């Protein structure tokens, strides 16, 4: 019988594991891949996470992240607004950050089952049975679901969002691009999508965009879609013409869903994108995943310290999660609608250019405070 099993070794899973092992709780993380590996992600993190990462023993400065202090937003025709980021953030690839946190967690005593897939999870008699590939089963008192945006487990758990196909796909590149300051994160709108570009470590830039399957299907391939649709925005056209793309193929993910999810499923505490995904346009998903991992692991520590009351743990997690994230996710969905179509995107950018207080309000509603 394991104390805690965490399904998924992304930011929420790794930071939860670090928190729990500091409290003397035995933790096993199950990850279907082997570190290091790339993820489709904007790779910008709000500075709100830095105090917590330092408390976990993570020295982020040693990874030489890019320091980001300004934000630029462009409309499909290229109109821009630019503003200062009040709290600021940093750019760091998931390839580097996740691998660093994995090694740190392993050094501190977290057990890892890599290249292992969870097939099913069942709860009975106040414990979980986790079925793995190879007909192996393990049991655990607590399970955290930190497996990301979409998994076969969501089907097994009969989660409502899994029954409806999402129209969104995500595409990510790393590149060299000398025409954007390293302290700037830029978001560029185009028909049925938007792209973000910001610096990460080693002088590289992360270039990641969200669009629809319909856009891709209409043009037959990613390069053709980029040439015909994305390049209508002059800022994006300049990136495709001037940047040095560092890998022959991009990372791609399908079925990205922004539908409402629940943070507890069959007594599993869900963290990060498994509990709810903020739209990439708001640029704060990584910070929210780390914060959700903290909230979940704090409740699990209380569970083991205070008589193992599962109902109290679940109530505490549900309440804290909603307090921290519900309004941020709602704001993200609202912002997503504002930038869905070219005419609306043009109107939104041209209006917000003359309303700096509104821009700052959106920033505050989608970002948290240092924790």
pLDDT digits 0-9 by tens, 287-305: 999 999 999 999 999 999 9
Q: Residue 359 — pLDDT band, cuts 50, 70, 90?
A: confident
- Region of residue 76 (left: phi > 0; alpha: psi -120 to 50; beta: else): alpha
pLDDT digits 0-9 by tens, 219-274: 999 999 999 999 999 999 999 999 999 998 999 999 888 888 999 999 999 999 99
% of the chain beyond a pLDDT of 90: 80
Residue 262 phi, psi dihedral angles, 5° rounding = -110, 150
Each domain of the chain, given as residue ranges in start order, spans 2-366
Strand partners, 131: 120, 137
Q: Is the pLDDT of residue 281 over 80?
A: no
Q: Residue 75 — pLDDT band, cuts 50, 70, 90?
A: very high
CATH 3.50.50.60 corresponds to the domain 2-366 = yes
pTM: 0.94
Q: How far is CA 278 from CA 53, 171, 192, 365, in A?
A: 21, 17, 17, 12
Q: Residue 360's pLDDT is what?
A: 81
Q: Is the pLDDT of residue 340 over 70?
A: no
């Amino acid at each position: 019988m394991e104390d805690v099993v965490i399904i998924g070794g992304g930011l929420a899973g790794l930071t939860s594991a670090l928190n729990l092992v500091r409290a003397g709780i035995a933790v096993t993380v199950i990850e279907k891949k082997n570190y290091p590996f790339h993820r489709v992600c904007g790779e910008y993190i709000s500075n709100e996470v830095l105090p917590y990462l330092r408390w976990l023993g993570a020295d982020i400065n040693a990874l030489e992240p890019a320091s980001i202090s300004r934000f630029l937003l462009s409309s499909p025709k290229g109109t821009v607004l630019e503003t200062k980021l009040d709290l600021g953030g940093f750019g760091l690839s998931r390839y580097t950050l996740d691998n660093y946190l994995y090694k740190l967690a392993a050094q501190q005593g977290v057990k890892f089952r890599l290249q292992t897939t969870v097939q099913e999870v069942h709860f009975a008699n106040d414990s979980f049975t986790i079925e793995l590939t190879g007909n192996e089963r393990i049991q655990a008192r607590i399970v955290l679901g930190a497996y990301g945006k979409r998994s076969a487990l969501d089907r097994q758990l009969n989660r409502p969002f899994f029954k409806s196909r999402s129209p969104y796909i995500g595409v990510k590149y790393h590149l060299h691009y000398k025409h954007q300051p390293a302290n700037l994160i830029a978001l560029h709108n185009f028909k049925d999508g938007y792209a973000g570009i910001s610096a990460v470590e080693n002088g590289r830039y992360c270039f990641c965009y969200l669009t629809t399957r319909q856009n891709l299907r209409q043009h037959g391939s990613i390069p053709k879609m980029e040439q015909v649709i994305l390049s209508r925005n002059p800022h994006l056209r300049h990136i495709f013409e001037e940047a040095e793309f560092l890998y022959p193929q991009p990372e791609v993910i399908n079925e990205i869903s922004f539908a409402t999810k629940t943070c507890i499923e069959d007594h599993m505490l869900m963290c990060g994108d498994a509990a709810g995904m903020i739209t990439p346009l708001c640029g704060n998903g990584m910070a929210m995943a780390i914060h959700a991992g903290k909230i979940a692991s704090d409740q699990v520590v209380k569970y083991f310290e205070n008589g193992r009351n599962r109902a109290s743990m679940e109530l505490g997690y549900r309440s804290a999660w909603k307090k921290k994230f519900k309004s941020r996710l709602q704001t993200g969905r609202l912002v997503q609608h504002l930038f869905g179509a070219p005419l609306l995107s043009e109107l939104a950018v041209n209006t917000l250019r003359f309303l700096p207080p509104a821009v700052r309000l959106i920033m505050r509603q989608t970002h948290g405070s240092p924790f």
